[in-house]
Structure 1
Amino acid sequence: MYINEAKDNVGKFVEIKGWVYNMRTSGKIVFVLVRDGTGIMQCVVSKNEVSEDTFEKAKRLTQESSVIVRGTVREEKRAPFGYELDLKELEIVHLTQDYPITPKEHGVGFLMEHRHLWLRSKRQWAILRIRHRIAKSLRDFFDSRGFTLIDAPILTPAACEGTTTLFETDYFGEKAYLSQSGQLYMEAAAMAFGKVYCFGPAFRAEKSKTRRHLMEFWMLEPEVAYLTFEENLKLQEEMVSYVIQEVLKHCKTELEIIERDIKPLEKVVPPFPRLHYRDAIELLNKKGFNVKFGDDFGGDEETALSNEFEKPVFIHHFPKEIKAFYMQPDPDDPETVLAADLLAPEGYGEIIGGSQRIHDYDLLLKRMQENNLPIENYQWYLDLRKYGTVPHSGFGIGLERTLAWIAKLPHVRETIPFPRMLEKIYP
């Protein structure tokens, strides 16, 4: 039996294979918390009800020893996860000595050095289970709406989001780069399949040490032919709301373990508020920030803006000079582009960036020249505007930042199994 199947096995004699999470002895009873990856179950070893050898083995157990336990499942509301095992047989697979992460407090630096073991803790288990649910929910959302998953390459010949944050590598004598985004390739795929998305790792060589930055992160990027800017925002609202509802439905235990107040999450339903970039500048100035038209927003500005709203908020119509070359200028306000960032509430800032794309060949070529991009590397991208071009839109949602908000974590380092941060690539 797996521990998460306990409710279906009450009164049955079962076998569980796992590891000792913790234990304590109380005279003639040993309480052993066993985890198996799906949950934690308290196993009660009574001296009068087991052999002397079994009781002595139970007393010898240590944290993270691997064990096979057998006994009868019973409901016990006071026990972790609501069920207990009356243990009758115990098999020690491996007796662990001097496990480094004890129940006492440890510093973050120490825990990160032992990330391969820290994953076993109840809190990290809960966080990464929520990550799994978010990823599944994102896929389910798009799959159920007729999108086709298209895998984007990780090695690319050119930049997508600016040349200053590229990881460069040698590709048989030529320069190649780790992908910053699959978006450009999704635009090509959208012209073949209509509605597509990719979901995979992205890399940014950004020398930042903030609580929101990773060098390697996961991003889901949909792209849709004939999708307008307004329709793009609506798709994002529906997607975020769906993900939140799925997490609330399926991750009750995990949210309780990390002590997440779910009331703010329950408010995340469409429509989301919208704030024009010009109005955002005005609001920030009132809050004491020295920003003007043409400035990009950093973490502090995003935090200040998102704290003004109980729901995620769209900041839209950014100046074209601070946004990517492929974004469609607003015909009614050519200084700005049909782009929006979605800021998560509770001070978490940007989790989605999206826009309507330029579909006119001459305008795209002009914007590439203004950005000093090597045209020959992007000729295939320009081809999309030569052969059956249509208006189209898309966006990218960062999995780790979204998880940090949903789980209300202080730093993104806990949102990915093995984080890659500035000067941190071990283990």
Structure 2
Amino acid sequence: PAHNEGYPITNKEHGIDFLLDHRHLWLRSRRPFAIMQIRNRIFKATVDFFENEGFVKFDAPLLMHSAPEGTTELFHIDYFDHDAYLSQSGQLYGEVGAEAFGKIFTFGPTFRAEASKTRRHLTEFWMMEPEMAWMHQDESLDLQERFLSYVVGQVLEHCEYELSILGRDLDKLRPAAEGNYTRLSYDDAVKMLQEAGKDFKWGDDFGAPDEAFLSEQFDRPFFIVNYPVAIKPFYMKKNPENPLTYLCADVEAPEGYGEIMGGSEREADYDTLKAQIEEAGLNLDDYSWYLDLRKYGSVPHSGFGMGFERVIAWICKLDHVREAVPFPRIINRMQP
């Protein structure tokens, strides 16, 4: 039976908080419909791409006994009689999968207890993390470029209607589907910022304004390669040509969107990795199983992670990642 109250969402301008409070109904509207259809297409394209490349879908646990990257930005839970944490990455477990099956990808929810209120942060978001045995960093970058250009191509091919609902300029997306992504060294990125008069020195990490500036200089995604060791996690392989840097790369999306993927070659040598864990001030006991991967038949391997909602936000040109997920979880929102 029909109820007397009017439908809460009308044709007038509603504030974002009102719409998020009524997200269970707002999802019926044209804009969220278009975004969720595009999200679904990116999901399908991702699974198809990695299946075609011979990858195995491999699932990492969401409950962790310790912090994988030694950060404090973890949600703590009481797990019966001891401490546990919600996973912030499936990567270390993905490395187990790569050494067992060759090429794998994990794809699922991850959690970060960062008190961030930026347009790029959710506390619960999806990560897609491939890990490849017998692969060095350069081949990993080739794979990342093929993957991202395939995904954008699939969205352009199948979601023209949805993109038109969002008013998205297709010409801004087409270069991304062509590949040919620049590989910009961290050193050169620093120079670009300094030449533009930004207060940035070698060894700093890029903030959102820095990434936004750099990403305005390119018409398609691009890599920033070989970051300083001090600003990246312990498990990466040092660059033999400059041991102050790692063999790593972030993918930056154009139009001011900044980082959407990040990866590295992993340190495959037992003694080196053990030393890097200790240098990072982490507890060796927490990583004994991870060190076992190097102790019992280690191979060179590389991997990367993609923030699913960040990719959706860039492709759809959203103001905030909260629209890229059906029910956003941000620092001040757990409802509905």
Residue 187 of structure 2, aligned match among 263, 267, 278: 278
Listed as ranges, the matches of 1:294-373 within 5 Å are 294-373=203-282
Q: CA RMSD in A?
A: 1.0
Q: Partner residue of 1:418?
A: 327
Which is richer in strand? 1
Larger radius of gyration: 1
State the secondary structure of the residue aligned to 1:267: helix
User: Aligned partner of 2:32: which letter?
Assistant: Q
Residue 245 of structure 1, aligned match among 153, 156, 167: 153
Q: Does 1:160 align with 2:41?
A: no
Q: How many Å separate the matches in 1 of 2:41 and 2:187?
A: 36
Which is richer in helix? 2
TM-score by length of 1: 0.77
Unmatched segments (≥5 aa) in structure 2? none
Listed as ranges, the matches of 1:157-306 within 5 Å are 157-268=65-176, 269-306=178-215
Q: Partner residue of 2:27?
A: 119
Q: How many Å separate the matches in 1 of 2:130 and 2:148?
A: 13
Q: How many Å separate the matches in 2 of 1:95 and 1:247?
A: 40
What's the CA shift for 1:162? 3.2
User: Aligned partner of 2:152: which letter?
Assistant: I
TM-score by length of 2: 0.98
Q: How many Å separate the matches in 1 of 2:4 and 2:273?
A: 61
Q: Does 1:106 align with 2:17?
A: no
State the secondary structure of the residue aligned to 1:409: coil
Q: Partner residue of 2:303?
A: 394
Q: Partner residue of 1:37?
A: none
Deviations 1:121-179 (A, max 9, x none): 10010001100000110010001111001110000112123322111111111111100
Q: How many Å separate the matches in 2 of 1:114 and 1:288?
A: 44
What's the CA shift for 1:421? 0.5
What's the CA shift for 1:94? 4.7
CA contact (8 A) 2:131 2:304 kept: yes
CA contact (8 A) 2:108 2:127 kept: yes
CA contact (8 A) 2:70 2:282 kept: no
State the secondary structure of the residue aligned to 1:165: coil
Listed as ranges, the matches of 1:109-148 within 5 Å are 109-148=17-56
Relative contact order (alpha carbons < 8 A, sep ≥ 6): 1 or 2 greater? Answer: 2
The percent of aligned pairs where both chains have the same amino acid is 55
Q: How many Å separate the matches in 2 of 1:337 and 1:125?
A: 41
Structure 1 segments of 4 or more deviating over 6 A? Answer: none
User: Aligned partner of 1:288: which letter?
Assistant: G
Q: Partner residue of 1:381?
A: 290
Listed as ranges, the matches of 1:76-95 within 5 Å are 94=2
Q: How many Å separate the matches in 2 of 1:95 and 1:131?
A: 33
Q: How many Å separate the matches in 1 of 2:27 and 2:129?
A: 28
State the secondary structure of the residue aligned to 1:243: helix
What's the CA shift for 1:96? 6.8
